[in-house]
Amino acid sequence: MLRELKTGRVRLVGAGPGAADLLTVRALRAIEGAQALLYDALISDEVLALAPAHCLKIQAGKRAGRASMAQTTINRLILRLARRGLEVVRLKGGDPSIFGRVGEEAEFLRANGVDVEVIPGVTAACAAAAQFGMPLTHRGEARRLLISTARVADGAVLEDGWQAAADRETTLALYMGRDAAGAVAAQLIGHGRSRATPVLAVENAGSLAARAIPATLAGLAAALAAAQPTGPVVLLIGDVAARAQIVEAAPVPLPLRRALP
């Protein structure tokens, strides 16, 4: 008589902005114990190297402007691996709950009887602010943080909802806005945000290759056109962006030890 194979567990893990020493301890433990690892295109080699040598590693795409694996295909693949009884880690850049489709994957897996755990990670806005010495909120200057994307599901630039970011005391952290900077600036200015509002565009936030591109809202599109970033960019828009400490030296990564027991 064949013994029924127990369904494995799936962990949806935030890998942070790229540097391995910005992983949480829980994320590190999950990666070190993975038997199958499905990872997004922006996950660093440094983080992937933490998985066991015998671990099955599958690149699952998800990079703006490039061909990637369809979400339905990813869902089915995760399920197939879990039904083989494997410890599956779905590794996502940043935090899986912020534009990481964690809800879609978790709902699909739970509907198919798979146990799911979500492990948070450092999101790009927090990594960028910390790396360049600025706060995201500041007493008397920024009393709220709004995290948004510039695009809707079909890739078009978002047409509504900009009024929420028009208040001067709101810091707007805009994801996936690199190629729509001009349209974004026009929307914000049209809804009353000052043309002189400071902006910090950060490419590859949290990594040794990070680059800060300062601008004003009115000059944002021109600044990005001149800088020609090719990596992922988060836009930090608000008065607090003027507090950024832009230096040439990159942060020195801390030595990564094995996870605590």
Q: Which of 21, 62, 115, 134 is catalytic?
A: 62
Helix or strand or coil: residue 196? coil
Q: What is the predicted pLDDT for the residue at 247?
A: 73
Write out pLDDT tens, residues 203-228: 999 988 899 999 999 999 999 999 99
- Please name the CATH architecture into which domain 124-243 falls: 2-Layer Sandwich (3.30)
| Options 40, 95, 134, 239, the catalytic residue | 40
Which pLDDT does position 48 carry in this prediction? Answer: 97
> For strand 88-92 and strand 170-175, is the pairing parallel, antiparallel, or unpaired?
unpaired
Q: What is d(CA 179, CA 229) in angstroms, rounded to the nearest whole number?
A: 10
pLDDT confidence bin for 2, thresholds 50/70/90? very low
The answer to whether residue 21 is catalytic is no
pLDDT of residue 1: 40
State how far the Cα of 199 lies from the Cα of 227, in Å rounded to an integer. 14
pLDDT for residue 177: 86
Is 90 exceeded by the pLDDT of residue 154? no
- Domain chopping of the chain, boundaries: 9-119, 124-243
Which of these CATH numbers, 2.60.40.420, 3.90.870.10, 3.30.470.10, 3.40.1010.10, describes 9-119?
Answer: 3.40.1010.10
Q: How far apart are CA 10 and CA 6, in angstroms?
A: 13
Q: Which position among 95, 134, 176, 239 bears the catalytic label?
A: 176
Q: How confident is the model at residue 255 (pLDDT cuts 50, 70, 90)?
A: low
74 — phi, psi (to 5°)? -60, -45
Which residues are within 8 A (CB) of 141 and not within 5 positions of it... i.e. 6 or more apart? Answer: 169, 239, 240
Q: Which residues, other chains included, contact 116 with Cβ-Cβ below 8 Å and sequence gap of 6+?
A: 9, 10, 11, 12, 105, 106, 109, 110
User: Quick one: average pLDDT of 235-257?
Assistant: 78
Per the model's pLDDT, the better-predicted residue between 251 and 217 turns out to be 217
57 is catalytic: no
Mean predicted lDDT score pLDDT of the chain: 89
pTM of the model: 0.88
**Distances 86 to 9, 39, 81, 147, 236 between C-alpha atoms, Å:** 7, 16, 6, 35, 40
Q: Is 95 a catalytic residue?
A: no
> What pLDDT score was predicted for residue 152?
56
